[in-house]
Structure 1
Amino acid sequence: MTSTAPVGTTGSIPGVPDAVHAQRRVLRVLVASQILSGAGLAAGVTVGALLAQDMLGTTSLAGLPSALLTGGSALAAVLVGRVSQARGRRPGLAGGYLGGAVGSAGVITAAVLDSPVLLFLSLFVYGAGTATNLQARYAGADLAQPAHRARAVSTVLVATTLGGVAGPNLAAPTGDFAKTLGMPELAGPFLLSGAAYALAALVLAVWLRPDPLPLARTLAAAEQDATVTATATTATTTARADATSGSSPVRGLRGGVVLGALVMILTQLVMVAIMTMTPVHMHDHGHGTAASGLVIAIHIGAMYLPSPVTGWLVDRYGRIKIAAASGLTLLVAGVVAATAPGDSVALLALALALLGLGWNLGLVSGTAIITDTVPLATRARTQGMVDVSIAIAGATGGLSSGLVVAAASYPVLALSGGIVALAILPAIAATASNR
C-alpha cells in the first residue's frame, strides 16, 4: 500500500497553525455541523418512500426516491470532491449542505402541489446533503496521524448520531406542525431537514478555519523539504528494487483504492436496499410513522453511534479484519429482517440495528483504507470519485428494492441483501492478494 507521510505536529513554520491544535478545532466544528446535518439526513430516509407511495398510489416505485436521492448524492460527491481539491474542505462541504437545503425546499413545494415530477427532481438535489454528510468524514482525517485516522473518521461519524436519531423521532411532531401550516403531513420532516442543512452550511462556512486539507498539504510539504535528501535516497533505492522485482507503486495505489471502494460499495448497496423498504413494509402491516420512525432512528443510531469503538478496532486490529466483519454482520441483519414477523417492531428494530452496524464497520474500515492509500495531492478528488461509486450503489439498492418487494416480498429482499453482503469476503481476498 502506498502511504502518505504523517502531517507535521510542531507548528514551527511561521504563520502556519500547529497541526495538533488545528485538528482539535477542525473536529469540534465538524462535530457541530454533523449533528445538524444528521437531522437533515434522517428526514428523507424516514418519509421519502412514503411520500412517493402516497403520491403515486403504488409500492413498486417506492424505492425511486431513495434511488434519486443517492443518484443526486453521486453528482454532489464529484462536485464536493473537486471543489475541496481546488479550494479546500470549507467551501466544498458548505456548498454541499446548501444544496441539501435547496432540495428540502423543493420537496416541500412538491408535497404542497402534489407534483411527483418536482418531488423526484427535488430529491435528486436533496441528495447533496447526504453526499456532504459522508464527505465530512474525510475532512476529519486530513490532519490526523496515520495510527489515529480511523478514530478521527469515527469522531465525525458519531456526531451524526444525535441529529440522526432525533430526526426520525421528530417525524410525527413535524408532520403535525406541517398540517398547522396547511401542508401535507409528510412534508413536515423536510422542514426540519432544510433548516438543519442550512445551519450546517453556516457553521462550516464561518468556523472551519483553518481549512484542514490545505493545511495538511502545507505541513506535508514542509516535512518533505526538511528531509529531501533522505527522501531522494529512499526513492532511488525503492526505484531500483521495483525495477528488480517488477513491482509497481501504482499497483499498490490502485489495489488500495479498489479494496476500500468495494467494501463501502457493497455495504452501501445492501444497507440502502433493506433500509428503504422497511418503513413501507411496516406501513403495510399497520404500523404508523411513529413506529417506523423509531425503527429508523435505531438504525441510524447503529450506523453512527458505534463509530468510536469501530475506529479503535480498525486502528488496533487492522482494516481488513473489520471490513470482513462488516460483511458477516450484514448477513445476520438480512436473516433477522427476513424472518421477523411483520407485526414485530422489536425484531425489525434489531435487524435494522445490525444493518446499521454492518454499514458502520464497512464505512470506517473502507475510509481508512482509502485515506491511507491516496496521497494528499489527489486525495479529495479521489475520495469524491469513490463516494460517487458508493452513491451509485445506494441508488441501485434503493431503486431495485421496491421492484424486488413488488415482485417477491420484503423477506426475499432482506435475505438477498444479506447474501450479497458476503461478496465482501472474496472481494477482500482478491484485492488484498494484489496489494
Structure 2
Amino acid sequence: MSSNKVRDQEKTERRDAVIQGYIESREKQRQLQKRTLGIVIASQTFGGAGLAAGITVGALLAQEMLGTDQYAGIPTALFTLGSAAAALLVGRLSQQKGRRVGLAAGFLAGGFGAIGVVLAAVFDNLPLLFLSLLVYGGGTATNMQARYAGTDLALPTERAKAISMAMVFTTFGAVAGPNLVNVTGQLAESLGAPVLSGPFMLAALAYIVAGVILLIFLRPDPFMVAKGIAEKENHNQAHQSEDITPSVHKRGIIIGAAVMILTQIVMVAIMTMTPVHMQHHGHGIGAVGMVIGIHVAAMYLPSLITGILVDRFGRTMMSYASGVTLLIAGLLAAFAPADSMILLIVALALLGLGWNFGLISGTAAIVDATPPQLRAKTQGKVDVLIALAGATGGAMSGMVAAQTSYSTLSLLGGVLSLLLIPMIIWSRAKPKE
C-alpha cells in the first residue's frame, strides 16, 4: 500500500473516531449543534449578499442586453433553473460526503457563475450570460439548503427555530446587497465594466467567502454525526424488531413541498417584474434597490419569530398564514398607484413575509417527515421542485406582464396563493381504509 493511501486511511480513521465520540455523547451533540449554527450563520451572512445580486439587477441586465422587456424574466428563470440542478447535486453530495462538502461546493460554484456574469456583461456576450446565470444558480440553491444544516442535530421541538436562525442572518447580506447597488455600480464603472455588473462582483466575492467558511470550519460534519446516531438507534432496535427500515411520512413530504413550491412561484413572479415596473414609472435604480432590499429583509429577518411560531402553533397554522399574507401582498401590488413608493414597499414586504411563513413551515414539515438516512437526498429533490417552480414563475412573469400588465400579474399571484388552503385540508384528512 502506498504512503498516500496509508495517510488517507489514517485520516479517515481519525475522522470516524471523532464522529463516534459525538455519537456517544449527548452533551457533545448539543455543543456541536450550537457551533454548527454559528458557522452556518456566518456563511449565510455572506451567502445572502450573493443571492441579492440576481434578484436586484438580473432582470435589468437582461433588459439592457436584450433590448426588450418581454424576456426580462429570463435571468431569474435561468438562475433558478440552475439552482434546481444544483439542489439535486448538493443534496446528493451532502448525503454521501456531508453538509461541509456539499454546501461548500455549491457556494463556490455560485461564485464562479457570478464572475461569468460580469465577464458576459463586459463583452456583451449573451450565451456566456445565460450559461453563467445557470452556474450562478448554484449559490442560490446552496443558500437555501444551508438552512437544513441547522436541523441535523436539533430536537424535534426546536427544528423550526434552528431553520429560522440559519435564515435570519441571511438578512444582513441580502439587505446590504441591493442597497449597495449604486456603490458596486460605481466600482464596476471605474473598472470599465457596465454599471449593472457591479452587484455580481459583490456576489462572486460573497459566495466564495461563504464556501470557504464552510469548507474550513464545519468540522465534524453535523449530518454525518446525525446519520451515525440514527444508525446506532436502528442497531439497538434490531433486537426488538426485524423491520428497521427508516420511516418516511409521504403526506408530510408532499404538503411541505407543496407549500414551498406554491409560495416560491407567487413570490418570484411578482418580485421579478417589480424592478422593471418601477423603472417604467420613473423610479431610479437606487429606489429599486431600496424596495428589493426591504422585500429581501422581509423574506429573512422575521425568521426567528416565524420559527418560534411554527414550533408553537404548528406547521399547518403558519402555512395558512402564508397563503393569506401572499394574497394581501398580491392585491396591494396590483392596485397600488405605480408612483407610490410606500405602497410598493408594503406590498413587497408582505410578499417576502408570506414566503417566509411558507418556507419555514414547509421546511420543518419535510424534516419531520424524513429520517437522517434519507434526509439530505430528499431535501435536495424537494429543493429541485422549488427551484423549478421559481424558474417557471420567473420566466412566465415577464410574458404575463408584457401581454397584460404588472397589476394583472400581481393579482394572479395573490389568487394563486389561496390554493394552499385546500391542499392543507387534504393533507390533514385521514386516508381511506
Query: What is the TM-score normalised by the length of structure 1?
Result: 0.92
Q: Answer yes or no: is 1:109 the counterpart of 2:105.
A: no
1:430 partner amino acid:
W
Change (3 A) 1:354 1:13: closer
CA distance in 2, matches of 1:432, 1:48: 40
Q: Answer yes or no: is 1:314 the counterpart of 2:323.
A: no
Measured against aligned partners, the alpha-carbon deviations of 1:347-392 in whole angstroms (never above 9, x if no partner) come to 1110000000000000000000000001111110000000000000
Q: 1:243 aligns to what?
A: none
2:365 partner amino acid:
I
Q: 2:241 aligns to what?
A: 232
Q: 1:72 aligns to what?
A: 82
Give the Å deviation of 1:222: 2.9
Give the Å deviation of 1:116: 1.8
Change (3 A) 1:338 1:13: closer
Give the Å deviation of 1:224: 4.1
Q: 1:7 aligns to what?
A: none
Q: 1:6 aligns to what?
A: none
Q: Answer yes or no: is 1:299 the counterpart of 2:295.
A: yes
Q: 1:288 aligns to what?
A: 284
CA distance in 1, matches of 2:225, 2:374: 14
CA distance in 2, matches of 1:56, 1:218: 52
1:176 partner amino acid:
Q
Change (3 A) 1:323 1:36: same
Q: 1:62 aligns to what?
A: 72
Q: 1:178 aligns to what?
A: 188
Aligned residue runs from structure 1 range 206-225, under 5 A: 206-225=216-235
CA contact (8 A) 1:259 1:432 kept: no
Q: Answer yes or no: is 1:336 the counterpart of 2:332.
A: yes
Change (3 A) 1:434 1:264: farther
Which residue, 55, 60, 73 being the options, matches 1:45?
Answer: 55
Give the Å deviation of 1:256: 1.1
CA distance in 2, matches of 1:397, 1:172: 27
CA distance in 2, matches of 1:424, 1:232: 39
Q: Over the residues paired in the alignment, what is the CA RMSD in angstroms?
A: 1.9
1:318 partner amino acid:
G
Give the Å deviation of 1:11: 6.5
Post-superposition, which runs of at least 4 consecutive aligned residues in structure 1 deviate over 6 A?
none
2:79 partner amino acid:
L
1:150 partner amino acid:
A
Runs of 5+ consecutive residues of structure 2 not aligned to the other structure? 1-19
Which residue, 134, 144, 147 being the options, matches 2:154?
Answer: 144
CA distance in 2, matches of 1:13, 1:381: 21
Q: Which secondary structure does the structure 2 equivalent of 1:232 belong to?
A: coil
Q: Answer yes or no: is 1:382 the counterpart of 2:392.
A: no
Give the Å deviation of 1:253: 1.7
Measured against aligned partners, the alpha-carbon deviations of 1:189-221 in whole angstroms (never above 9, x if no partner) come to 001000000000000000011111110111233
Q: Answer yes or no: is 1:90 the counterpart of 2:103.
A: no
Aligned residue runs from structure 1 range 353-432, under 5 A: 353-432=349-428
Measured against aligned partners, the alpha-carbon deviations of 1:395-433 in whole angstroms (never above 9, x if no partner) come to 000000000010000000001000001111111112222
Change (3 A) 1:65 1:100: same
Which residue, 163, 167, 171 being the options, matches 2:173?
Answer: 163
Give the Å deviation of 1:291: 0.3
Measured against aligned partners, the alpha-carbon deviations of 1:126-162 in whole angstroms (never above 9, x if no partner) come to 0000000000011110100000000000000101000
Query: What is the TM-score normalised by the length of structure 2?
Result: 0.92
The size of the alignment, in residue pairs, is: 412
Q: Which secondary structure does the structure 1 equivalent of 2:249 belong to?
A: helix
Give the Å deviation of 1:303: 0.3
CA contact (8 A) 2:83 2:134 kept: yes
CA contact (8 A) 1:255 1:434 kept: no
2:141 partner amino acid:
A
Q: Answer yes or no: is 1:200 the counterpart of 2:196.
A: no
Runs of 5+ consecutive residues of structure 1 not aligned to the other structure? 1-9, 240-248
CA contact (8 A) 2:333 2:343 kept: yes
CA contact (8 A) 1:172 1:290 kept: yes
1:232 partner amino acid:
S
Give the Å deviation of 1:285: 0.6
Which residue, 9, 28, 51 being the options, matches 2:38?
Answer: 28
CA contact (8 A) 2:255 2:362 kept: yes
CA distance in 2, matches of 1:13, 1:143: 11
Give the Å deviation of 1:17: 7.5
CA distance in 2, matches of 1:16, 1:204: 23
Q: Which secondary structure does the structure 1 equivalent of 2:395 belong to?
A: helix
CA distance in 2, matches of 1:15, 1:356: 40
